[in-house]
Amino acid sequence: MKVYFSHGQESGPWGSKIKRLAAIAREQGCEVDSVDYTFTKDPDVRVERLLDILRDESGSFILVGSSMGAYVSLVASERVNAKAVFLLAPALYIPGYRHQVFSTDHPHIEIVHGWSDEIIPPENSIKFAKDADCTLHLISGDHRLSSSIEVVEGLFRRLLIDLGHNQHVAKALV
């Protein structure tokens, strides 16, 4: 399985949060790639960049995004067959972003959002999670989730373990 990371508007492809989560993905036997979007701040141009990369993907993969990167991952997931989508402080319902309505029929979406997020209100994630009936972890922390990175790491590790377990179960049933 491969994990594609999408960074936020002001960060880069290998910021500290992505490096830490990428280490967990590798520990769980996943390949990792972190897409570089630093050439544009337009979220919908970033969506097209991710979709271009995913066109050649034939294996199973997970999309992981932070802030604007979470928006990118979620919007792209509507057009590709991602095994799961893991969103950190997703920039949803932001004025000026093209997509304001999101598909809620993806089989596995998980959101982590800090209660003290000063950039994206946690209420945005609550609204989406309620509509999508997906897992939402509201944790102590601000937009960057730096003070709660160990919690984020634990949630991400659990997701990968669960997906790996489900994959092994599916193989055993065949």
Distance separating alpha carbons of residues 76 and 78, to the nearest angstrom: 5
19-43 pLDDT per residue, tens: 999 999 999 999 999 999 999 999 9
Domain boundaries, the chain: 2-173
Lowest model confidence (mean pLDDT) among 22-36, 41-55, 76-90, 155-169: 155-169
Residues whose CB is less than 8 angstroms from the CB of residue 50 and which lie 6 or more positions away in sequence, other chains included: 4, 6, 35, 63, 72, 73, 76
* Global pTM exceeds 0.85: yes
> What is the pLDDT confidence band of residue 164, given thresholds at 50, 70 and 90?
confident
For residues 88 and 115, the answer to whether their CB atoms sit within 8 Å is no
| Domain 2-173 grouped into CATH 3.40.50.1820 | yes
> What is the pLDDT confidence band of residue 104, given thresholds at 50, 70 and 90?
confident
Please tell me whether residue 94 adopts helix, strand or coil conformation.
Answer: coil
pLDDT on residue 172: 36
167 has a pLDDT exceeding 80: no
pLDDT on residue 103: 87
Distance separating alpha carbons of residues 130 and 142, to the nearest angstrom: 21
